[in-house]
Structures are given as structure tokens and as C-alpha cells.
């Protein structure tokens, strides 16, 4: 007998698959369904992370605002202290046009932390990340692999303030807020990161390639503490709403994440 929560999780998984246009249970490689089962080959592990690590943000000359951000982030010893430090940060004009600081939602310490781009209009109104249309899709996507912000998911963004008119964050803004993001990851201590969209991938991987080239594989992200986390870039839900055909790629990424959580 299933509990109502299990039935709800299955309904969410089905709704996501239907939204993706999945009508058959197929995988990219053909399956010999009649052959005797073989022991699965051990999944190849990525090479040691160290040689692949790039600096998270493009190197920039230090500015007073950058120094203020770095000092405030380094001094925060808890998530609450970090939220307060970000609210005190005066180095970005974005705070003047935003209604709320959007810090995070979900369960700190959850195994997976999702990092998006920046709050939109609804997020700015409510002070919570991913609560608009793309947030609803994000919730359905993660529910389909058993992750929910009420239980085992933690969500934040590269920028805590909505850029006016929802414009894309500039490289300078991404670099300015990066010390806060890295400290946030360190304090939230997830096992794995998901980078939703090109801005999050650019910020945390320091990568110049677009998201379609980066997605679908694990990348190392090095934290100020020296710890290295694994990050999976994937397509942003707002992009998926405009390009439903790409939901199949997002589904492949979610399966990769689920497999990793289940032990590879």
C-alpha cells in the first residue's frame, strides 16, 4: 500500500515525463531485453579533479565592492549570518531596484543544492528563489527523481537581487557576488551541485563554453576551504519552457544526478 506522499511523487514523475513528450520507455542505447542479465560494468569514474579545476570567476582587478563582498562572505559563520551580510552589502546598485533580497529556499544540508541565475519578478515579490513559472517546472523536474525543497533539496541563485527588467546578469555582477555564492555552498554543505543555466555554469565553473556543451557531465568546483564538489550543469527551466524539445536533455541530466545519489 503506497502512502499519499509516494503516490504524489509518482504522479509528479508521470506529469514531468508527459510534459517531456515521453511516450515510450526508451534509453539512448538499444537494450537487449531478452538476453540473460549481465553484471553491470562499473561506471567509469571521472579522472582526479585537480588538473581540471578552473578558477570559479574570470580573474578581475580587485575593486572596493569586490573586497567588501569577499570580506563579508568570509566573515559569515552560518547561513543566517551570510544572509545578514548580504543584506548589509552596499557594493551593488541592484539592491536599490530590487524589492527583496532572495537568499535561498529548501533544506540547508540537503544532499543537492541547485544554483540558478537571478530572481525574476515573482521571486523578487516573495523573496524566495524559483517560485514563478520556471520554479514550478523546476519543482516538477526534481520531484520526478524524488527531490523536493520541503525535504531534500536546497535552492539559491548566483545573484540575490533581481536585475531590472530581468536582464541577464553581467560578468561583473556574476564575479561580484561569487564570494557570497561560494561561501553559501560551503555553509549549506551539499553533496552535489546542480547549476541551472549558463549564468550559474559561467559563475561556478569559470567556463567560456555555452551550457549546451557543458551540461550532461560532472565538473569540479573548488570552494575557498579547499574542498572540491562535483557540479552538474543543466538547462535552465525557463529555457525548457521556451524549448520543450530540450526537456529530453534535462531528463538525461536528472537521471545522471539520481544515479550519482544512488551511488553511481
Residues that bind ligand URA in the complex, under the rule CB under 6 A? 116-120, 123, 129-130, 132, 134-135, 157, 238
Q: What is the distance between the alpha carbons of residues 127 and 24, in angstroms, rounded to a whole number?
A: 40
| Residue 102 beta carbon to ligand URA: minimum distance, rounded to whole angstroms | 6
Residue 153 main-chain phi, psi, to 5 deg: -140, 145
Least separation in angstroms between CB 5 and ligand URA: 25
Of 14 and 133, CB closest to ligand URA: 133
Shortest reach from residue 185's CB to ligand URA, in Å:
16
Nearest CB to ligand URA, comparing residues 106 and 135: 135
Whichever of 94 and 238 has its CB closer to ligand URA, that residue is 238
Quote the least distance from Cβ 259 to ligand URA, whole Å: 25
The C-alpha cell that represents 219 in the structure block: 565538473
Give the nearer residue to ligand URA in terms of CB position, either 85 or 240.
240
Separation between Cα atoms, residue 199 and residue 205, nearest integer Å? 10
Quote the least distance from Cβ 156 to ligand URA, whole Å: 8
Distance in angstroms (rounded) separating the CA atoms of residues 102 and 44? 38
Instruction: Give the residue with the Cβ less far from ligand URA, 70 or 177.
Output: 177
How many residues are present in the chain?
264
Least distance in angstroms from the C-beta of 262 to ligand URA: 27
* Cα(187)–Cα(195) distance, integer angstroms: 17
Contact 109, 189 (CB under 8 A): yes
DSSP 8-state secondary structure symbol assigned to residue 3: -
Distance in angstroms (rounded) separating the CA atoms of residues 221 and 186:
11
d(CA 49, CA 71): 28
Q: Residue 104: count other Cβ atoms within 10 Å of its Cβ.
A: 22
Residue 57 CB, nearest approach to ligand URA (Å) = 18
What contacts 121, CB < 8 A, 6 or more positions away?
Answer: 132, 162, 166
* Residue 144 or 157 having the CB closest to ligand URA: 157
- SS3 percent helix, strand, coil of the chain, rounded to 5, is 45, 10, 45
Which residue number, 196 or 254, has a Cβ lying nearer to ligand URA? 196
Amino acid at each position: 500500500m503506497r502512502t499519499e506522499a509516494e503516490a504524489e511523487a509518482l504522479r509528479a514523475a508521470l506529469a514531468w515525463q508527459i510534459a517531456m513528450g515521453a511516450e515510450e520507455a526508451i534509453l539512448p542505447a538499444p537494450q537487449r531485453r531478452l538476453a540473460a542479465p549481465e553484471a553491470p560494468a562499473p561506471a567509469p569514474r571521472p579522472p582526479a579533479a585537480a588538473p581540471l579545476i578552473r578558477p570559479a570567476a574570470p580573474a578581475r582587478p580587485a575593486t572596493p565592492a569586490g573586497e567588501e563582498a569577499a570580506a563579508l562572505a568570509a566573515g559569515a559563520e552560518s547561513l543566517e549570518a551570510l544572509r545578514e551580510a548580504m543584506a548589509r552589502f552596499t557594493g551593488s546598485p541592484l539592491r536599490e531596484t530590487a524589492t527583496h533580497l532572495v537568499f535561498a529556499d529548501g533544506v540547508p544540508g540537503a544532499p543537492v543544492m541547485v544554483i540558478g541565475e537571478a530572481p525574476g519578478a515573482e521571486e523578487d515579490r516573495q523573496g524566495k528563489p524559483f517560485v514563478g513559472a520556471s520554479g514550478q517546472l523546476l519543482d516538477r523536474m526534481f520531484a520526478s527523481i524524488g527531490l523536493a525543497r520541503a525535504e531534500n533539496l536546497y535552492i539559491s541563485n548566483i545573484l540575490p537581487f533581481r536585475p531590472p527588467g530581468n536582464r541577464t546578469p553581467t560578468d561583473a555582477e556574476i564575479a561580484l557576488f561569487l564570494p557570497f555564492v561560494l561561501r553559501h555552498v560551503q555553509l549549506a554543505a551539499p553533496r552535489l551541485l546542480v547549476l541551472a543555466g549558463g549564468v550559474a555554469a559561467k559563475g561556478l565553473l569559470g567556463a567560456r563554453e555555452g551550457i549546451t556543451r557543458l551540461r550532461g557531465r560532472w565538473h569540479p568546483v573548488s570552494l575557498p576551504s579547499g574542498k572540491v564538489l562535483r557540479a552538474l550543469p543543466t538547462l535552465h527551466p525557463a529555457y525548457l519552457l521556451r524549448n520543450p524539445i530540450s526537456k529530453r536533455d534535462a531528463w538525461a541530466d536528472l537521471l545522471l544526478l539520481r544515479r550519482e545519489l544512488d551511488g553511481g
